[in-house]
Homo-oligomer: A and B are copies of this chain.
């Protein structure tokens, strides 16, 4: 139901010289991760032991913000600027790494299912950012 590929395919000009599949996967991973991180911050806030969830909430809120801005930047083909895209992808990969680790910790040690789902979203997005970084060139 996502439109990222169709939007890229119908772009009227020349698309960025980078692998399209890597770009589309990264756009989709960013928007999916924004959503899951917003939802996971909220699920953590709904836990009885919310006082143990502070770091996870902050990591999720930060990651949600960075993924949202990165997803938008990647969605822009007009005057695509590799230096900007690289900087955004680096920040996003780091946000996803930190959030994914924290969520993973709650998933394995406290059996929190929302953190397990969110850790998966973060790891997928971290991987997609790193692959997009390779695709966009150093």
Partner-B contacts on A (CB < 8 A): 1-4, 6-8, 10-13, 27-29, 31-32, 34-36, 38-43, 45-48, 50-51, 54-55, 57-59, 61-62, 64-66, 68-69, 71-73, 75-81, 83-84, 87-88, 90-91, 94-95, 98, 112-114, 116-118, 120-121, 124
User: Which of A77, A78, A114 has most chain B Cβ within 10 Å?
Assistant: A78
Main secondary structure of the interface of A (DSSP, over half): helix
Closest residue to A3 on the B side, CB-wise?
B36
Q: How far is the CA of A84 from the CA of B50 in the complex (A)?
A: 22
Q: Considering residues A4, A34, A66, A69, which has the most beta carbons from chain B within 10 angstroms of its beta carbon?
A: A69
| A35 in contact with B78 given A45-B57, A45-B58, A94-B87 (CB within 8 Å) | no
